[in-house]
Amino acid sequence: MIKAVSLAVLAGGILLLIFGINAYNSSSSDISRFFTGLSHR
């Protein structure tokens, strides 16, 4: 049971990481525009 829960958490973390990388790489992302706007100042 504990192993199943830990595997589910691990899989969820990997999915969130992939989603975050895709959002960061997307030029249409408001979040990436916000951070790139901050870094150019």
Tell me what pLDDT residue 5 has.
Answer: 94
Q: CA–CA separation, 9 vs 32, rounded Å?
A: 26
Split at pLDDT 50, 70, 90, the class of 41 is low
Give this prediction's pTM: 0.52
| Per-residue pLDDT tens digits for 3-34 | 999 999 999 999 998 887 776 666 555 666 67
H helices of the chain, where? Answer: 2-25, 30-39
Tell me what pLDDT residue 4 has.
Answer: 93
| Long-range Cβ pairs for the range 15-22 (8 Å, 24+) | none
Tell me what pLDDT residue 1 has.
Answer: 87
